[in-house]
Amino acid sequence: MTTERFRRLEQAFGELVALPASQRAAALAELAAEEPDLAAELAALLAADAEASPVIEATVAAGARLLAAGPEVGRRIGRYLLEREVGRGGTSTVYLARADDAAPVALKLLERRGDGEEVLRRFENERRILATLEHPGIARLLDVGVTADSRPYVVLEYVQGLPIDAHCDSRGLDLPARIRLFREVCAIVHAAHQRLVVHRDLKPSNVLVDAAGAPKLLDFGIARLLDDASQGAPDRTSTLFVALTPAYASPEQLARGPVTTATDVWSLGVLLTELLTGRRPFRTEGLPPAEVERIVREGPPSFSAASSPRTARLPPDLETILRMALRKEPERRYGSVAQLAEDLGRFLDGRPVAARPDTWAYRTATFVRRHRWSVAAAGAFFALLVAFAAATAVQSARIARERDRAERVSSLLVDLFEVADPTERRGSSVTAREILDRGASRLASELEEEPETRAALQETIGRVYQNLGLFHSAAPPLEQSLATRRRLFPGDHPLVASSLNRLAVVRALAGEYTRAEPLFREALAMRERLLPADDPAVVASVNNLALILHDSGDYAGAERLYRRAVALDRRQPPAERDGTAEINLGLLLVDRGEPAAAAALLGPEVERTREGEGEASPVYAANLGYLGMALQALGRYGEAERLFRRAIAIDGRAQAGEHVALARDLHLLGALLYERGDLDAAEPLLERAQAIRERLLEPGHPELAATLERRARLVAERGDVAGAAALAERALAGFRGALPAGHPSSADALVALAEIRVERGDCAGAAPLVREAVGIRADNLSPADWRTAEARGVLGTAMACAGSAGENERREGERLRAESLVKLSAALPPAHSALRWLGRASALGRTVVE
């Protein structure tokens, strides 16, 4: 078109639009006859004019949007021409760029501006370090610079690949494959750590995987570089600073604290969680920065899967590994990325992992020790608080709900502890027991609207009662806790299993073995269904059930289970082993009359406890006692006595006032001294043990019965046969009531009572008792066991001195007695109580004639 033409158009257009619309068509037609081309053009113009389309405005606006969306392509920065945008983050954009005709590079351009000179200076140091970081798994840093408008940029090796999460999904990798790939990533990160370079910004988009499946890490150390580069930026307005990707930032990064290799461990933990579950452990999408910071720094991680096909639950060991990597405190995480990779390797091999859950949780998977009480009475209510805090941490609830609940619960606790407030003039001193009692009774009716919390609190109170040795007080809150949890979680659930176990423990400690056993069985079955075979909770349940069988007299069944628990426990690394099953097996062996094997098992366990728990630990004291029992059975009285005395010293100090642990130790020493013949020393010990046990235990408790039985013998030997009889009757009644028929402990009481009856002249009455004892011991002990001989000796004596017995029976009795005497003399030291009695009885046997 020429200018003249345009003028012509303009003129015609002006004329036409001046006409009324109705006349335009005619005028146009007229023109068309003369100048058809012009007319055509005019028609087009008129049509466009009539359309009044806003396309021009829209196009310009769209252009402005385009500008906002990504302005740099086509620009030249330094040597590099930006060809296209390949990625964009919160604070920077990445371009595919090329210098002249060279190979493509990735140029990452930061949004913020810095002060040019400053930036250069900082860059230089970092650049030098990073330029030396050469590794096939790391995208090399090629160049750094600052643009004309003071924006820093870095130039990296251009890597083609998918972000690791996209790669895993697109290849459909299963869990082990993902872990293996992740381990390769760990190896790369570790290599950089060894060169003292921390990544600081590990996330899926920085971990690419190429077509061959090899991972390559981007932006190593860049975060630090860019962070430094922006130090001089004039407008540092945002709280989340340059190089942080909030979703992957560690607590110390959010707190602007020092960044170490542990920071990368954290990020790798987040990354791995995402790879395995499809979600990040901390849900921060769409939340303001302050809230994100709070959730990451304070909230628990979550490992529930987004959706299938990934597994619904992570295997517990894997979760443990993740939790360790995601510990809030850097020093509590894996010490190095290599260790993380190692543990993952163990997991893949099916070996136990080194990571352990947090201690308090680990210990709540209760192992029952036969005589284990660990909390001093004075500290009971602090234990309540601490344990409560721990218990509630297990509950994952919404944040607001937690706040409300915490308030309600703390006001309950505050009320309780007003009682303990010394400024409250109450006159009487308050004991922990009172506080507990109040707590228990209030919980029975309060907090109904917070059933989970209530159940947790009740469990805690039950535990504290248990630790105080108040087993019967422990049962009601534990039963309520269990009932609540059964209601809340129908079917299998770890909390229900835990409640079952806890209640069973208390029942067992209370001596109610028959009530304890079904609970232990149920807890074990449930845990076996919920957890892998060597999970500590399962091992605990195996041990507990074994203990019940042990105490029920099913020694064979108990041994099988103990050995299973021991095998599982021994798979742990030494620092993590619990040793309870070993101890219990040792005790079983003592009961079974295999003290040598018992000592072999218990000796190392004692050492391990001493190292692990310390010489002032009640656990150590208990184990000393158990080893002492084995040594005593071996006849090594001196050593056993030393151990018992040491245990008494520890427990006497540790447990303020009188405690069942001390009673046990006193009993053991007293029994030893009695057996050895030192009645004067034994008597006060046994008396004190009895007093404590009477005060703290139920009348029919087997432990009390055991002391009564020992005292009965001692008292009888002193000559107070009537008194002895009473004690022995009580002992027998206690055993019979608490233990199943045929329990070996019953045999002890039966023998004792039979002996007393013989001494009283009631041989006929003694015989059936001791016959039962002989039968029990024959069932449970080896024929060579001295206790078998002891019982037969007593039987023989009873048979021989019974007036109603026939000649055959008398002779048989004599033979039995003589035979026993020989065996016992060979097996035992001369002053052994069994021999002493037989000697006494011989004299009696000669004089008593019915």
- Size, binding site for another protein by CB under 8 A: 72
Stretch that binds another protein, among 88-96, 241-249, 456-464, 795-803 (CB under 8 A): 88-96
Residues 6+ apart with CB under 8 A from 705: 730, 731, 732, 733, 734, 735, 738, 745, 749
Among residues 104 and 740, whose Cβ is nearest to another protein?
Answer: 104
Between 449 and 488, how does the x/- string for binding to another protein read (CB under 8 A)? Answer: ----------------------------------------
Q: How far is CA 572 from CA 356, 546, 638, in A?
A: 10, 20, 35
How many angstroms separate the CA atoms of 673 and 690, rounded?
Answer: 16
Give the angle subtended at the CA of 666 by the CAs of 579 and 784, to the nearest 5°.
Answer: 65
The token duo for 61 is: 């606006």
**Helix residue ranges, H only, 219-310:** 222-229, 251-254, 261-277, 289-298
**Pick 55 or 575: Cβ nearer another protein:** 55
Cβ-proximal residues to 323 (8 Å cutoff; 6+ apart), any chain = 301, 355, 357, 358
Which secondary-structure segment (H or E) carries 146? strand 141-146
* In the complex, least distance from residue 69 CB atom to another protein, rounded to whole angstroms: 4
How big is the chain, counted in residues?
850
Pick 68 or 312: Cβ nearer another protein: 68
Chain residues 490-549 in contact with another protein, contact rule CB under 8 A: none
* Residue whose CB is less far from another protein, 147 or 572: 147
If you search the block for the tokens 């058809």, which residue do you land on?
Answer: 36
Taking the complex as a whole, how short is the minimal distance between the CB of residue 277 and another protein, in angstroms?
A: 20
287 versus 827: smaller Cβ distance to another protein: 287
Q: Is 212 in the site for another protein (CB under 8 A)?
A: no
**Contacting another protein within 49-78 (CB under 8 A):** 49, 51, 53, 55-71, 73-75, 77-78
CB nearer to another protein: pick between 285 and 424: 285
- The strand pair at 141-146 and 92-99 is best described as unpaired
In whole angstroms, how close is the CB of 122 to another protein at the nearest point?
13
**320: helix, strand or coil:** helix
Cβ 166 vs Cβ 275: under 8 Å: no
CB 763 within 8 A of CB 802: yes
- CA neighbours closer than 13 Å in the CB half-sphere of residue 373: 30
Element housing 95 (H / E): strand 92-99
The token duo for 486 is 């059964």
> Binding to another protein (CB under 8 A): which residues in 89-118?
89, 94, 98, 111, 113, 115-117
Task: State the Cα–Cα distance between residues 633 and 760, nearest whole angstrom.
Answer: 29
Residue 87, classed as helix, strand or coil, is strand
C-beta neighbour count of 304 within 10 angstroms: 12
* CB nearer another protein, residue 98 or residue 636: 98
98 or 736, CB closer to another protein?
Answer: 98
Of the pair 37, 329, the CB lying nearest another protein is at 37
Q: Which of 571, 636, 569 is nearest to 598 (CA)?
A: 636
> Which residues are CB-neighbours of 846 under 8 A, at least 6 positions away?
none
Question: Which CB atom, from 68 or from 826, has the smaller least distance to another protein?
Answer: 68
The region of 85-93, 273-281, 585-593, 823-831 touching another protein under the rule CB under 8 A is 85-93
Q: Would you say 77 or 781 has its CB closer to another protein? A: 77
CB of 237 to another protein, least distance (A): 11
Q: Which is nearer to another protein, 3 or 423 (CB)?
A: 3
Member of 27, 28, 32, 86 binding another protein (CB under 8 A): 86
Among 137, 163, 379, 740, binds another protein (CB under 8 A): 163
Between residue 117 and residue 156, which ones bind another protein under the rule CB under 8 A? 117, 120, 131, 142-151
Q: For residue 776, give the nearest of 751, 797, 801, 810 by alpha carbon.
A: 751
- Nearest partner of 395 among 299, 467, 294, 476, judged by Cα: 299
- Residue 76 CB, nearest approach to another protein (Å): 10
Minimum distance of another protein from residue 208's CB (angstroms) = 8
Contacts of 92 (CB under 8 A, 6+ apart): 108, 109, 110, 111, 226
Task: Count the alpha carbons within 13 Å of 629 in the hemisphere toward its beta carbon.
Answer: 26
Can you read off the two tokens belonging to residue 626? 């158990």
Q: Which of 201, 228, 535, 651 is catalytic?
A: 201
Do the Cβ atoms of 266 and 199 come closer than 8 Å?
Answer: no
Q: C-beta of 50: minimal distance to another protein in Å? A: 9
Q: Residue 65 CB, nearest distance to another protein (Å)?
A: 6
Edge-first strand order for the sheet with 207-209 is: 162-163, 207-209, 215-217
Compute the least distance from the CB of residue 194 to another protein, in Å.
24
Q: Taking contact as CB under 8 A, which single stretch among the options 48-56, 450-458, 555-563, 833-841 is the one that binds another protein?
A: 48-56
Query: Look-up: residue for tokens 């900082």?
Result: 122
201 has catalytic annotation: yes
Region 177-206 residues binding another protein, contact defined as CB under 8 A: 205
Q: What are phi and psi of 343, to 5 degrees?
A: -65, -35
DSSP-based helix, strand, coil % in the chain, nearest 5: 65, 5, 30
Site for another protein in 3-22 (CB under 8 A): 3, 6, 9-10, 13-14, 17
* In the complex, minimum distance from the CB of residue 78 to another protein, in angstroms, rounded to a whole number: 3
Residue 548: which residues within 8 A CB-CB, separation 6 or more? 504, 508, 513, 516, 517, 520
- Return the closest-CA partner of residue 183 out of 421, 420, 348: 348
Residue 578: CB minimum distance to another protein, A: 48
Name the residues annotated as catalytic. 201
